[in-house]
Amino acid sequence: MNNPDTDIIIRVPQNLYDKHVQRLIDYVEYKKIVSKSKATQKDIDKLVAEIKKERKPKIEALKQRLKLD
């Protein structure tokens, strides 16, 4: 929901739009999403550790496949 009283609108001429402007837009969107999160840093660290643990065997298997091909 957008509230005109609390939103800030920035207009960027199309000829100035580039990847840096897009990164800024992405960062603002990220901050908006994160601001609503109830996750603690401990929750985030646990999730990251779980993802890394599950990812490692997949990466190793892919490396082996690439060596064989």
pLDDT at 2: 63
Alpha-carbon distance 51 to 58, whole Å?
Answer: 11
Domain hosting residue 30, numbered range: 14-68
Report pTM. Answer: 0.53
Distance (Å) of CA 54 to CA 4, 40, 47, 49, 68? 44, 21, 11, 9, 23
In a domain, 9, yes or no: no
- The verdict on residue 8 lying in a domain is no
- CB-based contact 59:50 (threshold 8 Å): no
In this prediction, residue 4 carries a pLDDT of 65
Tens of pLDDT, residue by residue, the chain (69 residues): 566 678 889 999 999 999 999 999 999 999 999 999 999 999 999 999 999 999 989 999 999 989 865
Within a domain: residue 36?
Answer: yes
For the chain, the domain total comes to 1
